[in-house]
Chain A
Amino acid sequence: MSETPIKEVKLPPIRNGTVIDHITCGQALNVMKILKVNYSNIDSSISIGMHVVSTKGDRWKDIIKIEDRELDAKTVDKIALIAPDATISIIRDYYVAEKYQVCLEDHVVGLARCSNPNCITNRGEPVAPEFTVVGRHPPQLRCCYCDRLLTNIPDNLL
């Protein structure tokens, strides 16, 4: 019996939506948290590739394809905090209408809470948490108020 090789399709193409590629390996599920999608609030398909071979930079990456959704700037800025090399491709009718890399600014305001429970920003004061970016690979943030390093960024995203 002759064997026909099966064509490997890791993630199917999408017609309309967003491809988040070059996500730092291991961060796909944290990006999903940022996207705030769950069974009750989405009607389109999502494909997630984890530990996929990368053609640039690191050897492994994660990738997410989400149909019928384009991301707002705040969501993209949050993704930059955990996946600073991620690229965002906006797909319209199977074509890449727009593609850009996320950008981790030097100063981050209102995207994450301080991980120090005794920081004044966690005490109901009328201020947005603010951080200075002190490292980029991986991202490291220092609180502008209590001066502590933010530990566990994914769990402290707002």
Chain B
Amino acid sequence: MDLYDKDVVSIRDLTKAQIEEILDFSETMIPYALGEKRSRALDGKILGNLFFEPSTRTKLSFESAALRLGCDVIDVSEMSMTSIAKGETLADTIKMVDAYCDLIVLRHPYEGAARLAAKFSENPVINAGDGAGSHPTQTLLDLFTMREAKGSLEGLNVALVGDLKYGRTVHSLADALTMFGAKLTLVAPDSLQMPEDTVSHLKEKGCNPVKTDRLEDIISDADVLYVTRIQRERFPDPAEYNKVAGTYRIDNAILREARSDMIVMHPLPRVGEIAPEVDSTTHARYFKQAFNGVPVRMALLCSILGGELE
């Protein structure tokens, strides 16, 4: 795979062939991610895990992925604990951390932070989410989860539901699904619909997404329901948040309209978008999706750092 020493800042940095290779390699990683097999493929390497915004799954799964491959991890998980709190620029922080590790994983509240980090770092940078911007590794694990459940990504009918304006996972995901010829339905209230320039980009790539605010009208045609949280922290005005909070709630009643093999995904954390009763149905894939973060990130770390499985 030609990802050795490469930055992964946006899903647009990867070709369809590279994505497919990462997904294939991720499958190989599953027994290692489960601890059934052991590997020291990244022995002697150090991962710098910089999380300047709260995260549970992404941070822990990167750590788990690194440790399962014998890679050491140094980390920062609060901006208040770093020199950034003293006014240090991100550029200076990155140059310093770059000297301490072999690869930087960055989560940051401002859009474009990972691109900036890649510019100042000699070592490769992986974007673990930059504000409302990109989250390419989430996209890779989402694709992996869909392919695992459906056998193929080609031509899937995917409904993206909830906060399509601020939700960073859906922008990257829509981009990637377009490469695979997916049919996209964008289900959101007008105020949270996908930004027009993202939609224009999808159209340029040959996808013509359908916009609606009525989930009940489209659920019966969906192969995948990708539900997102309406993110309180991205709303400049709390009153605007209150207007749209709780717009969509997936429960067993609405799922009666869905195909039996339709899957429900969610990048988590959920805050009431999916009723707990759905967890025990065959539709629920969100916890499997969260686990898949480990093999997918193992595949990515191993490819970028040039590790070889024994």
A144 to B12, CA, bound (A): 12
| Cβ-based interface call for B112 (8 A) | yes
> Given A120-B116, A127-B91, A147–B110 Cβ distance below 8 Å?
no
- Best-buried of B111, B130, B197 by chain A (most CB within 10 Å): B111
Contacts of A119 in B (CB 8 A): 110-112
B90 touches A147 (CB 8 A): no
> Given A146-B133, A147-B10, A148-B197, A116–B111 Cβ distance below 8 Å?
yes
> Given A127-B116, A144-B115, A146-B112, A120–B10 Cβ distance below 8 Å?
no
Least CB distance, B164 to chain A, in whole angstroms: 15
Q: Which of B96-113 contact A (CB under 8 A)?
A: 108-113
A125 touches B90 (CB 8 A): yes
Contact of A147 among B89, B108, B109, B112 (CB under 8 A): B112
- Best-buried of A119, A120, A123, A125 by chain B (most CB within 10 Å): A120
| Cβ-based interface call for B134 (8 A) | yes
A125 touches B91 (CB 8 A): yes
Task: Bin chain B's interface residue count.
Answer: 20 to 34
B116 touches A145 (CB 8 A): yes
A126 to B89, CA, bound (A): 8
Contacts of A125 in B (CB 8 A): 89-91, 116
Closest to B109 in A: A118
| Cβ-based interface call for B119 (8 A) | yes
Closest to A143 in B: B112
Closest to B111 in A: A146
> Given A145-B116, A149-B197, A118–B111 Cβ distance below 8 Å?
yes
Contacts of B197 in A (CB 8 A): 148-149
Q: Which of A106-151 contact B (CB under 8 A)?
A: 114, 116, 118-121, 123-127, 143-149
A23 to B113, CA, bound (A): 36
> Given A118-B132, A127-B116, A145–B111 Cβ distance below 8 Å?
yes
Interface SS, A side: loop
Contact of A124 among B89, B119, B131 (CB under 8 A): B89
Least CB distance, A114 to chain B, in whole angstroms: 8
Least CB distance, B53 to chain A, in whole angstroms: 12
B110 touches A123 (CB 8 A): yes
Q: Which of B16-32 contact A (CB under 8 A)?
A: none
Closest to B110 in A: A120
- Best-buried of B112, B132, B197 by chain A (most CB within 10 Å): B112
A114 to B12, CA, bound (A): 20
Contacts of B110 in A (CB 8 A): 118-120, 123, 146
> Given A118-B131, A127-B119, A145–B112 Cβ distance below 8 Å?
yes
B119 touches A120 (CB 8 A): no
Least CB distance, A52 to chain B, in whole angstroms: 33
Contacts of B12 in A (CB 8 A): 147
Contacts of A147 in B (CB 8 A): 10, 12, 111-112, 133-134
Contacts of B115 in A (CB 8 A): 120, 144-146
B 192-228 binary contact with A (CB < 8 Å = 1; else 0): 0000010000000000000000000000000000000
Sample of 25 A–B contacts (CB below 8 Å): A118-B132, A119-B111, A120-B108, A120-B110, A120-B115, A121-B116, A123-B90, A123-B110, A124-B89, A125-B90, A125-B116, A127-B91, A127-B116, A127-B119, A143-B112, A144-B115, A145-B112, A145-B116, A146-B112, A146-B115, A147-B12, A147-B111, A147-B133, A147-B134, A148-B111
Kindly list the 10 A-B residue pairs having the minimum CB-CB distance in the complex, ordered from nearest.
A145-B112, A146-B111, A146-B112, A120-B112, A120-B110, A149-B197, A120-B113, A145-B115, A120-B116, A119-B112
Since A119-B112, A123-B110 are in contact, a sample of 18 more A-B pairs with Cβ atoms closer than 8 Å, ordered by chain A residue number, is A114-B112, A116-B111, A118-B109, A118-B131, A118-B132, A119-B110, A120-B90, A120-B113, A123-B90, A124-B89, A127-B91, A127-B119, A143-B112, A145-B115, A146-B110, A147-B111, A147-B112, A149-B197
Chain A residues packing against B (C-beta within 8 Å): 114, 116, 118-121, 123-127, 143-149
Chain B residues packing against A (C-beta within 8 Å): 10, 12, 89-91, 108-113, 115-116, 119, 130-134, 197
